[in-house]
Chain A
Amino acid sequence: MFSQGGLSLEQAPPISVVLRFFVTASIFGVLLGVFLILDSLGLTLSLTANKSVIITHILALGVMASFMLGSLFQMLPVIAGVVIKMPTKKAMIVHLLFVVGLFIQLYAFANSSTPIFYFLASAYLGVGLFYALFLMLKELIKIKDHSSSSKGMILSLSSFGLAIGFGIYLLWSLGGYVDGSFFLQAKELHYSFALFGWLSLLIVSVSFQVIEMFYVTPKYPLWMSKYLTLAIFILLVLKTIAIFMGIEVVLITAFLSILFMVYAGFTIHRLYLRKRPTSDATVWLWRLGMGLLIVTMLITLIDSFIDINLELKMFSYLTFIGFTLSIVFAMTYKIVPFLTWFHLSNQGYMEAPMMHDIVHPKTVKKHFYIHILMLTSIAITLFFNYFILNLLSAILVVVSFGWLLYNLIYAIKKYNYTQKYTEKFEW
């Protein structure tokens, strides 16, 4: 979380700002599992048309956006030296609008005959997320001496803005507020900017700093840290233009896939070159994430030139989800224990629990195995559609996010306990 230039831990927001989003993300993860359990029991039949859209948005917004917003509020001051004033109040506003908007959106998807909910969802989510983007981007663009991470963050957040913009257009089209002539193009770009732009670019940008720092690895090659995020963003913009002009985007998609595969390969190699290779489940989560990114992009690359079957396509969506979740879990298990220890220690609590006491490495390892089991069981259900397998994989989704939620609550309890019952040391 720390680089050598311009960072400041003193300016980092209170721990509650980050945990508010992380806890929300875990709860949405559990809700996703519950939804999948209901689905496997045949209790969501009335939602057939929009079921996949509901699942996608619980995952992309409820889980991923929550994690990313929490991480950004924390990491902007320390990675980019950017300070958001009054972070607690602003994070609360974003959080409230976002959560209310998401629930309305899910309700709208479940009851597509009520157009007003599409509009309300676009209003709450649009205002909440654009407000968060405004808070972050206006500070990021003021930076004079950009690092590869801060530049990548600008491109990632810009992609998020475009994804939200296309998303609002889609909601208005569904609600009948616009004629929806560009619905299919907007849908393709909404997904492209959200997945390749926002999520992937953010992971790439942050990794340029944290891989070297967390795991004591050699630096990424300069050409990669300097130009990769820009190249990906330019390709996405070219894709947008091509789609609206009706030009084939096969080559652009192929280039994007190759760039991501090269990046993932380099990251795995960096981790292989660790100077002190201790056993750490977060490293395995990074390796798994990068491996899954390579699989996703390989299937996407093949799909650009040869028609592949639906199961394989679905498998590539799953590997992409696996990639993002693996990295998010790896980061969360680094950020939360560190912040808990750091805030307490800096407040002068000599008995502040150490990181291993807050989230023990064995606890992370257990989550790693649950995560692998969850992904494997879902992968099997893509090819063998049995009731018991569907139910098992849904239960594993609940267990995975429930385990994370339990660990977050445990960290919060440790934090509160230390503040309440241990002595403060003035130093």
Chain B
Amino acid sequence: MEKIFLDTREMEHPEPLQASLFHLQTMSEAHYLYMLNIRKPIPLLEIAKEKGFLFFTHQDANQVWHVLITKNSKTTLEELLDV
């Protein structure tokens, strides 16, 4: 699977949501979005859930949130976690 990497840690609101929604709307099943964020992006996750995307979140020891989202329901996102 091809990774779309998005580091939003220094982006001002609502750039993280704008950028991530753009990727969700345009990516295919061969892609997954890997996002780094300073807080859990609940609005994005709500939208992903509503639109039928698969997602996985993990907060690392530095309090950074790793957010993985894909259209492909057969993917095990946990395995793609990079910490």
Contact = CB atoms under 8 A, between A and B. Distances in A.
Nearest to A210: B13
Interface string B1-41: 00000000011111001100100110000000000001110
Interface in A1-45: 1-10
B42 A8 contact: yes
B12 A276 contact: yes
Contacts of A338: 13-14
Contacts of B79: none
Interface in B28-77: 38-40, 42-43, 46-47, 50-51
Nearest to A1: B13
A4 B42 contact: yes
A213 B42 contact: no
Contact of B18 (A1, A7, A341, A350): A341
Nearest to B22: A345
A401 B45 CA distance: 37
Given A2-B13, A213-B13, A355-B18, A427 B43 contact: no
A111 to B, nearest CB: 47
Contacts of B40: 4
Contacts of B50: 10
A275 B42 CA distance: 22
A388 B39 CA distance: 53
Interface in A293-341: 334, 338, 341
B14 A425 contact: no
Interface residues of B, number: 19
Contact of A10 (B14, B24, B39, B46): B46
A266 interface: no
A2 B8 CA distance: 15
Interface in A255-280: 275-276, 278, 280
B78 to A, nearest CB: 21
A47 interface: no
A243 interface: no
A335 to B, nearest CB: 10
A4 B24 contact: no
B43 to A, nearest CB: 4
B17 A7 contact: no
A422 interface: no
A150 to B, nearest CB: 15
14 contacts: A1-B13, A1-B14, A5-B42, A7-B43, A10-B46, A213-B39, A214-B12, A216-B10, A216-B11, A278-B12, A334-B13, A341-B18, A345-B21, A354-B18
Closest 7 A-B residue pairs measured CB to CB?
A: A4-B39, A9-B43, A213-B13, A214-B13, A4-B40, A276-B10, A275-B10
